């Protein structure tokens, strides 16, 4: 009888002593739950997949027109962006612009809020961006041709990102998305290929060995020869087009500043047999030579 009484008293004391800890734990759980719910309620709507881009039978895809939405960058952070009636970023229209920038994610300003977007910051001249995430040089050149009457007499800036663009120019897809590309003709020279473009995913996605291939490009291999030959063909065509409409063309390469990308490149260089003849300056040096040969600034 006494043993049961002592056990009951001990249990009551333990419960009393545990109450403060239980109250604190419950309060912390309530705070976490409410914080998560308020965060979800405040989270902006994000444009992903089809709501962000639309299929185009000539160029693969374009940003949707008249957007005012949020996206997420590679770190998962939100950014707000808008597009005009043609799907391009920047104030005004292409016709109104003094400078038109062509290219991929960097031209588009992926990850950058409208308030910090380079096309909205200039005071003394107007900048319009014509580009989309994932574009290669073939797609950028397509828009130079398509917009030639509207960009006549303007300064055209072409952003090139060597780790992606050089190889993507000769590949039929970017991940699962079908892209226009160029291929070597049997008799020499290059030709543009678009007949494979459709909304269906490409069954053999590229970029599975992206950084390994970039090491090859920087190492003077046959892949290196092909991509720089294709690059020269595209830059020469763009230079001829710009001259024909009285525009000035400037080519700008975008440096790789991402620690994640640098880490992946280091891993590719560490693979057995990789890195022989590797020269990190090769892409810039070769593109500068191409631009000098066709008479445009780099």
Domain ranges (residues) in the chain: 53-294
Return the pLDDT at 74. 78
Assign 102 a pLDDT band (cuts: 50, 70, 90). very high
Q: Is the pLDDT of residue 202 over 90?
A: yes
Q: pTM of whole model > 0.85? A: no
Q: Residues near 274 by Cβ (< 8 Å), separated by ≥ 6?
A: 212, 215, 268
Return the pLDDT at 208. 58
What distance in Å separates the CA atoms of residue 57 and residue 180, rounded to the nearest whole number? 10
Return the pLDDT at 50. 55
Q: What is the pLDDT of residues 107-166, one digit of tens each?
A: 999 999 999 999 999 889 999 999 999 999 999 999 999 999 999 999 999 999 999 999
Q: What is the CA radius of gyration of the chain?
A: 27
Q: Is the pLDDT of residue 34 over 50?
A: no
What distance in Å separates the CA atoms of residue 160 and residue 253, rounded to the nearest whole number? 5
Q: Is the pLDDT of residue 22 over 80?
A: no
Instruction: Judge whether 213 and 167 are in contact, CB under 8 Å.
Output: yes
* Mean pLDDT of all residues belonging to the chain: 85
């Amino acid at each position: 009888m006494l043993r049961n009484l002592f056990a009951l008293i001990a249990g009551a004391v333990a419960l009393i002593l545990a109450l403060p800890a239980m109250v604190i734990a419950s309060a912390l759980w309530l705070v976490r739950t409410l914080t998560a719910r308020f965060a979800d309620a405040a989270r902006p709507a994000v444009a992903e997949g089809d709501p962000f881009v639309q299929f185009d039978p000539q160029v693969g895809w374009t940003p949707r027109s008249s957007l005012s939405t949020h996206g997420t960058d590679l770190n998962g952070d939100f950014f707000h962006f808008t597009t005009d009636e043609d799907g391009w970023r920047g104030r005004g229209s292409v016709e109104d612009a003094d400078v038109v920038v062509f290219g991929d994610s960097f031209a588009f300003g992926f990850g950058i809020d409208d308030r910090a977007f380079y096309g909205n910051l200039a005071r003394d001249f107007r900048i319009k961006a014509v580009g989309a995430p994932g574009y290669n040089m073939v797609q950028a050149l397509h828009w130079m041709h398509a917009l030639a009457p509207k960009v006549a007499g303007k300064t055209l800036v072409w952003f090139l990102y060597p780790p992606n663009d050089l190889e993507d120019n000769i590949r039929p897809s970017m991940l699962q998305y079908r892209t226009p590309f160029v291929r070597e003709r049997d008799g020499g020279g290059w030709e543009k290929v678009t007949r494979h473009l459709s909304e269906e995913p490409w069954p053999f996605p590229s970029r599975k060995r992206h950084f390994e291939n970039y090491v090859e490009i920087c190492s003077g291999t046959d892949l290196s020869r092909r991509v720089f030959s294709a690059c020269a063909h595209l830059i020469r065509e763009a230079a001829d087009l710009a001259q024909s409409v009285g525009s000035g063309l400037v080519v700008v390469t975008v440096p790789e500043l991402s620690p994640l990308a640098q880490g992946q490149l280091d891993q590719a260089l560490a693979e057995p047999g990789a890195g022989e003849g590797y020269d990190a300056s090769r892409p810039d040096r070769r593109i500068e030579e191409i631009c000098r040969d066709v008479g445009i600034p780099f």
